[in-house]
Amino acid sequence: MTTIDLHAEVFNPVYLPHLKNNARQQVFFGGASSGKSVFLAQRVVYDLLSGGRNYLIARQVGRTLRGSVFTEIQKVLGDWHVNELFSVNKSDMLITCENGYQAVFAGLDDVAKLKSLTPAKGAVTDVWVEEATEIERASIKELIKRQRGGSEKTPKRLTLSFNPILKAHWIYEEYFSPIAWADDQTEYRSDALTILRTTHKDNKFLTPDDVNDLESETDAYYRDVYTLGKWGVLGNVIFTNWVMADLDDPASEYYLPEAQRTNRRHGLDFGFSSDPAAVPFTHYDRARKRIYVYDELYETGLTNDVLAEILKTKQTRDIVIADSAEPKSIAELRARGVDVYPAHKGPDSVLFGIQWLQQQTIVVHKHCINMRNELSQYKWREDGQGRAMRQPVDRNNHLIDGLRYAYETEMIDQKPEYLPGIYK
């Protein structure tokens, strides 16, 4: 057995009491840059070194783990100088301590991996769901099933971490409503449940610029959610003409089997580091004025070669309309076999595109969580009295921008001067 010395200074003080917290369910939520994900990554390494715990770390889309939690845990290994005590399998996203205990990473989009998940030693004691607002309530039950077996001496734990984007979210109903959570509350603890709300003020490792960026936020909603770490309550949302549905359910009013998704339209909003590359994959029912969003891509850190392969897998040879602001990226995608064309942006094209989309019914497949989150949060800018201005806040709109690009040709009859040509 190897012994290492850890000083309390490596942790933010607000989290230190939770290093050995054994509550069955634990919720760490709050503002941006509050240090919650870093602490939970530290706790994973601490627990693996201590022995007795195996982790399943999950997000809605497995690939997004690579650039987030998987990388964060590797940073902890380096910061603590314990790399030699761990084996890191980057291709399978598997981290194994020399004592045999493991952290396994999986997406809810990879059912096969979830069902076959068996640690090399013992059972899965801990499930940590990062960005938990991405997932459905039913997915939590599926993850809990992976915790069967093991020793009664090691209590099992389910941990959720997220920014509190909307008070209407199922997480609020499930965990916060039953305990009458107050807006200014920061903590709740019982044997069964822990809730901790933190903000950037709890993170001693931030730079002054980081703090200033958060504290200079003027929009009430974004200040509540990302600066103060409170549950968001939205007014002046732009889109109310959308529904979530199971497109694969024959009993659903919006049933749309894959064979009927023939009038396909896809749009690409580029991103890399802080912003995601975002693509809504859609089918258009012109007679009913329905846009069906049946799949989505929403990931950071994708180079153009990787993005091209994903697009070819998801949309085969369909046309993709991309943000014209990145001609080099468009050229690189075309060189790699993606049938991609630049969007035609004209004066007031954003407002006109929003107005056109508002006249449709947008049906979002139940698995397209990021599309749901954007439609829920995209809002008009407000004046000092809270009145909506005809100017959207340029946030939470990556997939929505892709949707506007995808349907430009449908807008020709209404305002042809914006769209001088047909792509193909």
pLDDT tens sequence across 128-174: 999 999 888 888 888 888 787 767 788 999 999 999 999 989 999 99
pLDDT band at 321 (very low <50, low <70, confident <90, very high): very high
Are residues 197 and 273 part of one domain?
no
**Spacing of C-alpha 287 from chain mean position:** 33
Considering the chain, what is the average pLDDT of its residues? 91
Residue 424 pLDDT: 39
> Cα angle at 8 between 6 and 13, to 5 degrees?
150
Are residues 297 and 161 part of one domain?
no
Are residues 289 and 185 part of one domain?
no
Residues 6+ apart with CB under 8 A from 156: 24, 125, 126, 147, 150
Q: Using an 8 Å Cβ cutoff, are 4 and 83 in contact?
A: no
Lowest mean pLDDT among 33-47, 109-123, 200-214, 238-252: 109-123
Domain contains 81 = yes
> Which of 193, 227, 261 is a domain's end point?
227
The whole-angstrom separation of Cα 394 and Cα 385 is 20
> Which of 186, 202, 227 is a domain's end point?
227
Q: Which residues span the domain enclosing 53?
A: 20-227
Tens-digit pLDDT profile for residues 25-73: 999 999 999 999 999 999 999 999 999 999 999 998 888 898 899 999 9
Question: Element (H or E) spanning 187, and its range?
Answer: strand 187-189
CB crowding 380-395: b at 16 or more within 10 Å, else e = bebeeeeeeeeebbee
DSSP 258-290: GGG--SEEEEEB---SSSPEEEEEEEEETTTTE
What's the number of CA atoms in the CB half-sphere (13 Å) around residue 100?
A: 8
Are residues 156 and 44 part of one domain?
yes
Are residues 177 and 137 part of one domain?
yes
> Cα angle at 240 between 286 and 253, to 5 degrees?
50
Are residues 188 and 261 part of one domain?
no
> Cα angle at 298 between 379 and 215, to 5 degrees?
50
Are residues 262 and 221 part of one domain?
no
Domain contains 375 = yes
Are residues 52 and 94 part of one domain?
yes
Percent of the chain with pLDDT strictly greater than 70: 96
Are residues 264 and 197 part of one domain?
no
Domain contains 8 = no
Residues 114-139 have a mean pLDDT of 89
Residue 423 pLDDT: 43
Are residues 216 and 99 part of one domain?
yes
CATH number of the domain enclosing 380:
3.30.420.280
Are residues 257 and 121 part of one domain?
no
Tens-digit pLDDT profile for residues 276-310: 999 999 999 999 999 999 999 999 989 999 999 99
Domain contains 10 = no
Query: Higher confidence at residue 121 or residue 416?
Result: 121
Burial class (CB in 10 A: 0-12, 13-18, 19+), 123: middle
pLDDT band at 364 (very low <50, low <70, confident <90, very high): very high
> Which of 204, 227, 250 is a domain's end point?
227
Domain contains 7 = no
Q: Using an 8 Å Cβ cutoff, are 107 and 36 in contact?
A: no
Residues 6+ apart with CB under 8 A from 62: 93, 105, 106, 107, 108, 109, 110, 113
Query: Total domain count for the chain?
Result: 2
CATH number of the domain enclosing 77:
3.40.50.300
The whole-angstrom separation of Cα 346 and Cα 63 is 35
Domain contains 396 = yes
Are residues 78 and 127 part of one domain?
yes
Domain contains 295 = yes
For residue 414, is pLDDT > 70? no
The whole-angstrom separation of Cα 78 and Cα 10 is 13
Helices 398-406, 349-358: axis angle to 10 degrees equals 80
Domain contains 1 = no
Query: Higher confidence at residue 159 or residue 386?
Result: 159
Rg of the chain on CA atoms, in Å: 23
Tens-digit pLDDT profile for residues 169-196: 999 999 999 999 999 999 999 999 999 9
pTM: 0.85
The whole-angstrom separation of Cα 267 and Cα 326 is 14
Residue 278 pLDDT: 97
